[in-house]
């Protein structure tokens, strides 16, 4: 297990290294002059001033030097300041990251509970009307855009029934966005659970367990479910990062103050320091989540550990 973890961590460090290279070079991919874009809003900036900014950002130095300087600043926790309003990037990211993580985690919880239940029942009742009904619902769920479902929930639960506030921060505000994100993703988990469980139900060890005369509930939970969960857990890791992406739309609809919403705005505004910080942070989160998933995977499936 230790060796396995070390391997994983090494891969993680490598991934983050590649990300920092890409991120530090991002500014050079901008069509046109990035400094000109940064100062598009200020009146009467002289060419000398623009030159001074280029120098300050080190844009006139060789790429390798630029990269080293960038990593040097990163290690000191300095991600620069935003172009709009000159605010420290790290602070803005850290302020909002928890909101997105909370939203994605709540949505994953909702998606898992519903998805696993639906998928398991559908697999168990394979070929019955219940299976068809559950899977049709799932297809509807997969096909439903976040934006649309979000507005529907908003109008029904917030405007008509008045159960939840329309937008803002805090627990009551979390319910509707988490449901929106969770319901659409539950469908994906449900479909995967069903096919995975069907595979498992057909396998010899399940049949053996049944023929040994073990109680049905025990076969399903101890034998079948544990084996069937392996691919689903991997999927959930992917789903979590996917939800952090999907959170962008949902955050917009419900005015949830997360990083996704901020990233979209930063991209529209060509706020490079903020975009760079966001990509780096997102990469770190994805890497951490995948390590966590690998560990869980290994715990569930002893073959992987060795």
Q: Which residues bind another protein (CB under 8 A)?
A: 32-33, 36-37, 40-44, 83-88, 92, 95-96, 151, 154-155, 158-159, 161-172, 252-255, 257, 261-262, 265, 268-270
Q: CA–CA distance from 12 to each of 105, 248, 280 (Å)?
A: 22, 25, 13
Question: C-beta of 176: minimal distance to another protein in Å?
Answer: 10
3-state secondary structure of 299: helix
- Rounded least distance, CB 87 to another protein, Å: 6
Closest distance to another protein from the beta carbon of 177 (Å): 11
What distance in Å separates the CA atoms of residue 241 and residue 16, rounded to the nearest whole number?
16
Residue closer to another protein, measured from CB, 96 or 191? 96
Is residue 115 within 8 Å of 189, Cβ to Cβ?
yes
Q: Closer to another protein at the Cβ: 142 or 151?
A: 151
- Minimum CB separation of residue 143 from another protein in Å reads 21
**Residue 163 vs 205, nearer CB to another protein:** 163
* Cα–Cα nearest to 134, from 123, 118, 120: 118
| Minimum separation from the CB atom of position 141 to another protein (A) | 22
Shortest distance (Å) from residue 175 CB to another protein = 8
- Residue with smaller CB distance to another protein, 96 or 223: 96
3-state SS, 217-240, equals: HHHHHHHHHHHHHHHHHHHHHHHH
Q: Which residue number, 43 or 211, has a Cβ lying nearer to another protein? A: 43
Residue 145 contacts residue 181 (beta carbons within 8 Å):
no
Residue where the block lists tokens 């049944």: 210
Q: Which is nearer to another protein, 9 or 159 (CB)?
A: 159
Which long-range contacts (C-beta less than 8 Å, at least 24 apart) are formed by 74-79?
74/20, 74/280, 79/273, 79/276, 79/277, 79/280
């Amino acid at each position: 297990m230790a060796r396995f973890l070390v391997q994983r961590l090494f891969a993680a460090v490598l991934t983050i290294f590649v990300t920092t290279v890409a991120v530090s070079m991002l500014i050079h991919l901008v069509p046109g002059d990035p400094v000109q874009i940064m100062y598009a809003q200020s009146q009467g900036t002289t060419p000398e001033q623009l030159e001074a900014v280029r120098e300050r950002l080190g844009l006139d130095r060789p790429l390798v030097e630029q990269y080293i300087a960038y990593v040097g600043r990163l290690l000191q926790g300095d991600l620069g300041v935003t172009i709009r309003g000159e605010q420290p990037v790290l602070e803005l990211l850290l302020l909002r990251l928890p909101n997105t993580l909370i939203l994605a985690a709540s949505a994953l919880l909702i998606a898992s509970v519903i998805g696993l239940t639906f998928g398991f029942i559908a697999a168990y009742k394979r070929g019955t009307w219940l299976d068809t009904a559950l899977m049709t619902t799932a297809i509807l769920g997969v096909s439903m855009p976040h934006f649309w479902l979000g507005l529907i929930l908003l109008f029904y639960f917030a405007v008509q029934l008045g159960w939840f506030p329309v937008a803002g921060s805090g627990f009551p505000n979390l319910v509707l966005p988490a449901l929106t994100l969770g319901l659409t993703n539950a469908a994906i988990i449900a479909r995967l659970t069903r096919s995975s469980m069907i595979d498992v139900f057909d396998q010899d060890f399940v049949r053996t367990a049944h023929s040994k005369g073990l109680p049905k509930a025990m076969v399903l939970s101890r034998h079948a479910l544990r084996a069937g969960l392996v691919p689903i857990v991997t999927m959930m890791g992917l789903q979590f990062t996917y939800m952090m992406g999907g959170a962008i739309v949902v955050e917009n609809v419900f005015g949830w103050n997360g990083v996704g919403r901020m990233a979209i705005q930063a991209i529209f505004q060509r706020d490079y320091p903020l975009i760079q910080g966001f990509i780096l942070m997102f990469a770190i989160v994805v890497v951490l989540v995948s390590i966590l998933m690998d560990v869980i995977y290994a715990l569930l499936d002893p073959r992987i550990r060795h």
